[in-house]
A and B are shown apart, each in its own frame.
Chain A
Amino acid sequence: MKLSWLLNIDRRIIYLLVIVALGIPLFIDYSLAPAPMKTANSFYKAIEKIAPRGKIVLVAADWGPGTQAENEPQTAVAIEHLLRRRIPFALISNIPFAKPYLEQLPETVADRLEAETGEQWDYGQDWVNLGYRPGGSIMIQGMAKAKDLHEVLKTDAEGTAISELPLMHNVRTIEDVAMLVEVTGSVGVFNSWIQFFRNDKYVPAMVHGCTAITIPEAYIYYVSKQIVGLFEGVAGAAWYEELLSENYPKREKGSALQMMTALSFAHLLIIALIVLGNIGNLAAFMKNRRKQP
């Protein structure tokens, strides 16, 4: 049987197959059970340990459209958990492209929770948007060393004075931040928070959401206990959704689970294509060997 065609499949056919494999679960709205993830479990437990209505959590959403696919579901599930537990949080970003997401994401999640529970979540009371802050590591260090964060931050993203926001009344130094949730696709940005968001006396607990590309690097920080929880790409967010659904049974199914199912279909296709390519390669090798005298 001639198998040489396996080595000459048009790349456009492969693209089409990948799109079909990814699209099927989305079209038929099918979700597989996500794989349990130890790192996401730790993330969940770390947020469960924070006292409601106490210190704030700082959510650094350092991502834009380029890594939205993975970082948006991660940020959304973290925000959802914080809102459900009534843990006040402030959103901030080092990336200018994050600006629209900082505004929309908490509102979208809060609206969904209000429809589900009938409770209410308000801007200024339950969360604040500190917006895009330029300056990278210098800005992070400035916040960490500040004797009064109100002086450093001055206003929120809409220009309202920080002192006028009820959530920020008692937030004066880094010691009033219980946890840093850092979500990004860039290792350099994450490093800056690890390196500079601390002072001589206090280091807040840190959790991280990374893209699949940076998992091998981010895992080092988890193993060395520099972070207490980790979202490993969209798979981490999918498992976190499962944890939230277990603990809040009325919760609607989220997008990360469906994304992960589509990815699993595509991974199966890629494995099949790798096997086929190797069969073609082996066939070509055997054919050449037979030809040799």
Chain B
Amino acid sequence: MIGLELFSLQWFEIFCGGFCVLAIFSFLAKENPFYRIFEHLFIGISAAILIMEPIRTFLWPQALKPLLGMDRIPFPDGTYPEPYAMSYLLFLVPMGFGLLYYFILSPRHSWLAQLVIGFSLGVGAGLSFKGIIVEMTPQLTDSFRPLYVVGSFGESLNNIFFIFVLLTVFSYFFFSFKRSPNGLMVKSSWIGRTMMMGCFGAFFGATIMARMALLVERLQFMIAQWWPALSQLWR
């Protein structure tokens, strides 16, 4: 990396980044303590960020600071331009209710935690109910396609294949009545299963592509940033 000062903060960032990459990739050779140390380091850092960021970006500036009246800027004489808004005390209600969740640790009072869990489940179910309808309706209506599209042989073929796959896959998950051996439903569900196998293959291929992309990004970092930064040590 041209122009990067040796032992500067940015140099150390890149140096440590590359070192961590090598430590994690050492697992490819074999399981080793070096890899384990960095794996735990990564988990610890991730867990800390997940806890601290909601506190730092939301809980403190938008809930606790106004509640404690610390978001008001005082005049030099110590007085405030506006009085403390008592409505902020209402924040204590959801906060207190949420904190009941910690009673899950007490066998005697764990029923209090169940109130919070029940409330969360209710909110989640309500949101999901609405969300699923909004999300699925356009997909459902899109599946009603014309089998013959005027002037477009390709689109007609596409739609016929789409409906064929849709019905055969549906038939695979249709268990409402007994299937006769060599019956239409058995054959149809076999085709449906084969189609799904093709889909799983596409998922698997895409997964390989995604994993390779992760590796190539790290290689880009090692070649374009880490190696030039490291080579400054003996320049």
Interface residues of A (CB under 8 A from B): 12, 15, 18-19, 22-23, 26-27, 67-70, 72, 96-97, 99, 131-135, 137-138, 141, 154-155, 157, 159, 185, 191-192, 194-196, 198, 211-216, 220-221, 223-226, 233-234, 255, 258-259, 262-263, 266-267, 270
Q: Cβ of B216 and Cβ of A15 under 8 Å apart?
A: no
Query: Could you write out 26 A-B pairs with CB less than 8 Å apart?
Result: A18-B215, A19-B215, A23-B223, A67-B214, A69-B213, A69-B216, A96-B57, A134-B53, A135-B58, A195-B132, A198-B134, A212-B207, A213-B203, A216-B203, A221-B139, A224-B142, A226-B135, A226-B138, A233-B209, A259-B220, A262-B216, A262-B219, A263-B212, A263-B213, A266-B212, A267-B212
Q: A26-B223, A212-B209 are in contact. Are A133 and B217 (CB under 8 A)?
A: no
Q: What 0/1 pattern do residues 76 to 110 of B give for CB contact below 8 A with A?
A: 00000000000000000000000000000000000
A72 to B93 CA separation, bound complex (whole angstroms): 40
The 9 closest A-B CB pairs, nearest first, are A69-B217, A195-B131, A96-B53, A212-B210, A224-B142, A212-B209, A134-B54, A212-B206, A69-B213
Contact (Cβ within 8 A) A258 B220:
yes
Q: Which residues of A contact B149 (CB under 8 A)?
A: none
- In the bound complex, residues from chain B placing their C-beta under 8 Å from that of A196 are 127, 131, 134
A267 to B57, CA, bound (A): 42
> Within the complex, what minimum Cβ distance (angstroms) separates B58 from chain A?
5
Contact of B49 among A18, A26, A97 (CB under 8 A): A97
Shortest beta-carbon distance from A258 to chain B in Å: 7
Complex contact B216–A22 (CB within 8 A): yes
Count of A-B contacts judged by CB separation below 8 Å: 124
Are B138 and A19 within 8 A (Cβ)? no
Residues from chain B with a CB closer than 8 A to the CB of A224 are: 138-139, 141-142
Q: B105 to chain A: closest CB distance in Å?
A: 24
In whole angstroms, what is the CA distance A191 to B203 when docked?
A: 19
CB within 8 Å of A: which of B191-235? 199, 202-203, 206-210, 212-220, 223-224
Is A220 touching B139 in the complex (CB atoms < 8 A)? yes
How far, in whole Å, are A191 and B208 apart by their CA atoms in the complex?
23
Q: Which of A15, A96, A223, A225 contacts B54 (CB 8 A)?
A: A96
Give, as a whole number of angstroms, the nearest-CB distance from A277 to chain B.
14
> Does chain A have a CB within 8 A of B9?
no
| Interface of A, helix, strand, loop or mixed by DSSP | helix
Q: Give the total of B residues in contact with A, Cβ under 8 Å.
A: 41
Please report the C-alpha to C-alpha distance between residue A258 and residue B135 in the assembled complex, in whole angstroms.
36
Complex CA–CA separation, A18 to B213 (angstroms): 12
B61 at the interface (CB under 8 A from A): yes
List, in ascending order, chain A residues with CB within 8 A of B29's CB: 12
User: A213 and B54 in contact (CB under 8 A), knowing A26-B216, A69-B216, A224-B138?
Assistant: no
| B218: nearest chain-A partner, CB-CB | A69
Given known contacts A18-B212, A134-B58, A216 and B135 CB-to-CB distance under 8 angstroms: no
A132-B53, A216-B199 known; 14 new pairs, CB 8 Å cut-off, are A26-B219, A27-B223, A69-B213, A69-B216, A96-B54, A135-B58, A138-B123, A157-B57, A195-B130, A196-B134, A212-B213, A216-B202, A233-B213, A234-B213
CB atoms of B213 and A133 under 8 A apart: no
CB of B28 within 8 Å of the partner chain: yes
- A185 to B219: give the CA distance in the assembly, Å: 20
- CB-CB nearest in chain A for B220: A26
B2 within 8 A of A: no
Q: Are A267 and B216 in contact (CB under 8 A)?
A: no
- Tell me the complex Cα distance, A15–B127, Å: 45
| Known pairs A96-B53, A195-B130; A215 contacts B206 (CB<8 A) | yes
Residue B10 at the A interface, CB < 8 A? no
Q: Which residues of A contact B58 (CB under 8 A)?
A: 133-135
When distances are taken between beta carbons in the complex, the residues of chain A under 8 Å from B209 are: 212, 233, 263, 267
Q: How far is the CB of B202 from chain A (nearest CB, A)?
A: 5
Q: Which B residues lie within 8 Å of A69 (CB)? A: 213-214, 216-218
B135 CB to closest chain A CB, in angstroms? 5
List B contacts of A195 (CB < 8 A).
127, 130-132, 134-135
